[in-house]
Amino acid sequence: MQSSFKLGRIFGVEVGVHWSWVFIFGIVTWSFAEGVLVQFYPEWSVPHRWIGGAFIAAVFFGSVLAHEMSHAIVSNRNGLPVKSITLFVFGGVANLTKEPDQPGLEFRIAIVGPLTSLALGGVFAALWAALRGVNEGVSGICAELALINTSLAVFNMLPGFPLDGGRVFRSAVWKRNHDRLRATRTAARVGEGIAYALMALGLALTLVNTFSGIWLLLIGFFLRNASAGSYEQLAVETAIGGVTAADVMSTEFERVPPDMSVDELVQERMLRQHARCYAVMAAGEFAGLVTLADVRKVPREQWATTSVYRAMTPTSALKTVWPSETLPNVLRIMATGNVNQLPVIQGRELVGMISRADVVEYIQLRRTLDSDTPAS
């Protein structure tokens, strides 16, 4: 969810919107402006209907946000911090710092989202009932919002991982067999089955309603990829759960003195050794990293007069890990910090470097060895 923009914080949770949400906002606005509002308010001008449609889309946006915030609140209260929420084309995702370690906790975090959407559906249904005969237009809009929120709850309760219903299903299987990975595999397979069913239904529906059919095809495709990807991610994390940065890091890393010029670094090191990252050592201590990205920030005409010390990223601005950091946490730090390598620090000493390539190579090797190991 890198292609998103931030809206702010709610209860300490950063809220972001993926660019794809603009598509949903436009669809909801259009459907109300050219559909529901035409029916109830034919006397309104086109600009008024579109403004009204945009307002209703904003209410729908708030409903989806409330759904995701409920996950975040329950997760935070149970010691699983949620740092951010991202709303995207198919709904939203609360970015947990780690997965629940108990099936009961998984159930509580998962079920609260659909319950929140169902409650919002009930609120709008009550408003519809209260306003019938008083203001048919507003009551009709409330009825549509009640239907949307109820549909959101029902869809999310489909027992396919990683939907909320899939997580509830996984928690039940997990509680029964006491194996989270096996439970995830079962829930992911069910999720893939539901995804294929949605795609088949979407394909058939295109003959009647092209837009709705394509929409179901997209949802099915997304769910299929998400199901397979979620299981794959957990399988990898399970395989490397006990592995630390010290097990994977490279202790042979390139060092450069702080007074070396950027031009020397490029000509004598980068172009000859094909390395992109160097540790800058000053008086025997680790001062920072100078990377290809740092070099590119320096104007070409200043390379000869600029030292790597001035061009580097200092230690204080770097994300670092201890040798005892687990590999899943190393991957999360790389992902959240959008970095390709991390210095491994012991006290004030640089003891190694770990890169994405190191981690990927280790995972591939482990999986190859595990698959080649004969069953006992």
Q: Mean pLDDT of all residues in the chain?
A: 83
Confirm if 350 and 287 have CB atoms less than 8 A apart: no
Report pLDDT for 370: 64
The pTM for the full model equals 0.67
Q: What's the CATH architecture for 245-370?
A: Roll (3.10)
Position 369: which residue type? L
Confirm if 262 and 303 have CB atoms less than 8 A apart: yes
Report pLDDT for 1: 45
- Burial class from Cβ neighbours inside 10 Å (0-12, 13-18, 19+) for residue 348 reads exposed
> Residue 297 — φ and ψ, nearest 5°?
-80, -15
Report pLDDT for 89: 60
Please give the Cα distance from 104 to 145 (Å, whole number). 31
Report pLDDT for 230: 74
Report pLDDT for 257: 93
Q: Which of 14, 34, 68, 285 is catalytic?
A: 68
Report pLDDT for 290: 92
pLDDT in tens, 240-267: 777 888 888 888 888 899 999 999 999 9
Please give the Cα distance from 324 to 199 (Å, whole number). 45
Give the residue ranges of the chain where pLDDT is below 70.
1-5, 88-98, 211, 370-376
50 contact partners, CB below 8 Å, separation of at least 6: 29, 33
Please give the Cα distance from 355 to 361 (Å, whole number). 10
Report pLDDT for 372: 55
What are the extents of the domains in the chain? 4-157, 245-370
> Residue 42 — φ and ψ, nearest 5°?
-65, -20
Please give the Cα distance from 2 to 7 (Å, whole number). 14
- Is 68 in the active site? yes
